[in-house]
A and B are shown apart, each in its own frame.
Chain A
Amino acid sequence: MAKMMYRDAVRNTIFQEMKRDDSVVVLGEDVVGGMGTDGGPEAIGGIWSTSTGLFAEFGADRVIDTPISESAIVGAAGGLALSGKRPIAELMFADFIGVSLDQIWNQIAKFRYMFGGKSRCPAIIRMVYGAGYNAAAQHSQSPHAILTGMPGLKVVMPTTPADVAGLLRQAIRTDDPVIFMEHKALYGVQGEVPDDPDFTIPFGHARLTRAGEDVTIVATGMMVGMAEQAADTLAEDGIGADVIDLRSTSPLDEEAILDSVEVTGRLVVVDEAPPRCSLATDIAALVAEKAFASLKAPVQMVTAPHTPIPFARELESAYLPNPDKVEAAVRKALSYN
């Protein structure tokens, strides 16, 4: 096991897979960085340092630095994938799905189905999402629910460096388009990563990070840490919580959620996105439909408010879920008897 940061797990996994498989290529804005400048290539290897060193190793045909053209980036990933390559396209911010939505939604997500199952589209669209950097309304969003709602896409949201490695390797080796969502506030998180160069984590398998019998807390990405903090505080009062990190929202590990709720009878969903038509409402509806008889309390949702993301520190803090809000939601769920 090697200890490394979340961002290094991204880069290392891509590096290893590019070494292993010639058909893996990387493309995106500034994935090389510095092209066409006096500083030269790799003056910056991506603003998130998730592609540093790839260009030097693999060259311009496999590490394709692109203009700021998100539709062309995603579309080219589609064309590469249909032509037998395994492209990993990067959207510097998940917010930019708005610029490239047709290529994501109408093109790569639908090729396999529209073309009668004969075409494979092993394209990965990596995108950096989430709030926490005071980056305001166009650089902080968490659009996982929109993408999860698109049949044909797999949507993956790793929380730990180990999960980054296992899930990204799985994504690269998958023949379907995968939306790989990296939380910008997790890039500096350290963790152990297995050394096994074939270490993969199959999609649709949630990770139980805390175990308890009083309440189920479901979360993704940065929200997992908040749920864990709340669970640790509640444990001091003898309240036990299952904390479930979904890891992928499509496919969704329904069984993990339902099995837990059948034991605890109480569900708190923590979602960084606004509440309407969201991952939170989707999971609440799932439990209402399939585990209603187990519920001892109404489902509690801890989400951002229904508003664009604000800039000022005080406002962003107020906007985001936090451990106190999760704890309050758990106590509210426990108040029903």
Chain B
Amino acid sequence: MQLSREDLLGAYRRMKTIRDFEELLHEEIATGEIAGFTHLYCGQEAVAVGVCEHLSDDDKIVSTHRGHGHCLAKGCDVTGMMKEIWGSREGLCKGKGGSMHIADTDKGMLGANGIVGAGAPIAVGAAMAAKLDGKDKDGKLKVAIAFSGDGACNQGTTFEAMNMAVVTNAPAIFVFENNHYSEHTGYKYAVGTSRDIASRAEAFGMKVWRADGTDFSAVHDTMREVLEHVRAGNGPAAVEFDTERFYGHFEGDPQRYRGKGEMDRIRSERDCIKNFRRTVTEAKLLEGSDLDRVDEEVAKTIADAVAAARAADRPTAEDVLTDVYIDY
């Protein structure tokens, strides 16, 4: 289905926001200004945005430790996230979580996660809650989405969660982003001999889909079908997107495992944002100048967010003890 001009610009804006947010982090981390571990999502933007464009704040997502893209796609505040990554007490999680634990339950974002494979059971719980709530005011069944990578698909928790979602007929969607690497190990080695993640979900009795995760419209169209299926009360479903990771497992990873010319090929042929630009301009859906204008706006948003993060209040020693419990 062809999206409106407005929707296409919105999707492009979100993808570009993720890209610029992360390119900025890539640069800043190299200067040593940002503490801790950071795992970049660059290259996979079409998946987060193609999935989350279909969701409302009532739908939940559970993310991975490559979570910035999912957070931004789900509507988390750009500046609040930047402040969080800078470790400010004004950050989205008051500087308690950092890059790996950003959450905003008001937006239906139940958290990035530092443990590979830990999110899927949590998403199933959110899906059970959605089922209990019944349909929302627009008559839609709420859903919960578990984003998992090709690494997480090998964790037992993911299998437990898929089986339990099927058993309980919970409206959970397992979105597998196969970016071909779990940390520094290729999926060709780690994902069994079939190298097929979706077929694992199929084995639990779920309907599954597969699509090119670097093609926004393929992701968006596929997710429309997946969501129609799940929102109709057919129980859980799974989808595997084939995608690319532009940077290493973590920032600072020298990526010695990459093949010769691999990054050049990915950057030139499999860049979801470049491909989106080419597709929509060739089809005369948008003008290059429309997209350039979005680029400028996004660049300003990110620059402002960084300036705000640098200027934001730092936490104090007393903040260590807050928010451990609600009441004692």
- Give me the interface of A with B, judged by CB distance under 8 Å: 25, 27, 60-62, 64, 66-67, 69, 71-85, 87, 102-103, 106-107, 110-120, 151-152, 154, 174-176, 203-204, 251
Q: Give the residue name and chain of the A residue nearest to B162 (CB).
A: A72
> Which residues of chain A are near B270, meaning CB under 8 Å?
none
Contact for A79 among B84, B126, B163, B323, CB less than 8 A: B126
| Residues of B close to A66: CB separation below 8 A | 164, 167-168
> Given known contacts A75-B125, A106-B115, is B328 in contact with A116 (CB within 8 Å)?
no
Min Cβ gap B188→A in Å is 27
Interface pairs (22), CB distance under 8 Å: A67-B160, A72-B160, A75-B118, A75-B122, A77-B125, A78-B122, A83-B144, A106-B118, A107-B122, A114-B96, A114-B97, A114-B111, A115-B97, A115-B111, A116-B84, A116-B93, A119-B110, A152-B324, A154-B325, A174-B326, A174-B327, A251-B328
| From A67, A79, A175, A204, residue with most partner B Cβ within 10 Å | A79
- Residues of B303-328 contacting chain A, CB below 8 A: 322-328
Docked CA distance A295–B326 (Å)? 35
B132 within 8 A of A: yes
Q: How far is the CA of A174 from the CA of B156 in the complex (A)?
A: 31
Which of B70-113 touch A at CB < 8 Å?
Answer: 84, 91-97, 101, 103-106, 110-111, 113
| Closest chain A residue to B146, Cβ basis | A79
How many angstroms between the C-alpha atoms of A74 and B163 in the bound complex? 15
Known A-B contacts A61-B132, A113-B323, A115-B105; the reply to A75 vs B161 at CB < 8 A is yes
Q: Check if A118 sits within 8 Å of B128, measured CB to CB.
A: no
A79 near B127: Cβ-Cβ < 8 Å: yes
Asked if B285 lies at the interface with its beta carbon under 8 angstroms from chain A, I say: no
How distant is the Cα of A314 from the Cα of B102 in the complex, in angstroms?
53
* A25, B131: Cα distance in complex, Å: 12
Whether a CB of chain A sits under 8 angstroms from the CB of B42 is no
Most chain A beta-carbon contacts within 10 A, residue among B84, B127, B160, B163: B160
Contact B115 A102 (CB under 8 A): yes
A73: chain B residues within 8 A (beta carbon): 121, 164
B186 at the interface (CB under 8 A from A): no
With beta carbons under 8 angstroms apart, the residue of B106, B114, B132 that contacts A25 is B132
Contact check, B163 vs A102: say whether CB atoms are below 8 A apart.
Answer: no
Contact with A along B157-189 (1 / 0, CB 8 A): 100110110011000000000000000000000
Contacting residues, chain A, for B129 (C-beta < 8 A): 79-80, 83-85
Provide the bound-state CA to CA distance between A117 and B122, in Å: 18
Q: A25-B128, A78-B125, A85-B132 are in contact. Are A176 and B93 (CB under 8 A)?
A: no
Q: Is B49 an interface residue (CB 8 A)?
A: no
**Minimum C-beta distance from A76 to chain B (A):** 3
Please name the 9 residue pairs, one residue from A and one from B, whose CB atoms are nearest each other, closest first: A79-B125, A75-B121, A117-B323, A116-B93, A76-B125, A83-B129, A116-B94, A72-B160, A69-B160
B300 to chain A, nearest CB (A): 26
Most chain A CB within 10 A, of B114, B118, B132, B322, is at B132
Which chain B residues border A27 with CB–CB below 8 Å?
Answer: 128
Q: Which of B110, B113, B160, B168 contacts A64 (CB 8 A)?
A: B168
Segment 9-38 of B: residues with Cβ below 8 Å from A: none
- Write out the residue numbers on chain B whose beta carbons fall within 8 Å of the beta carbon of A25: 128, 132
Residue B226, interface by CB 8 Å: no
| A106 CB to nearest B CB, Å | 5
**Are A116 and B97 in contact, with the CB atoms below 8 A?**
yes
- Report if A81-B125 is in contact (Cβ < 8 Å); known contacts: A76-B164, A154-B325, A204-B328: yes
Query: Which of A27, A67, A87, A115 has most B Cβ within 10 Å?
Result: A115
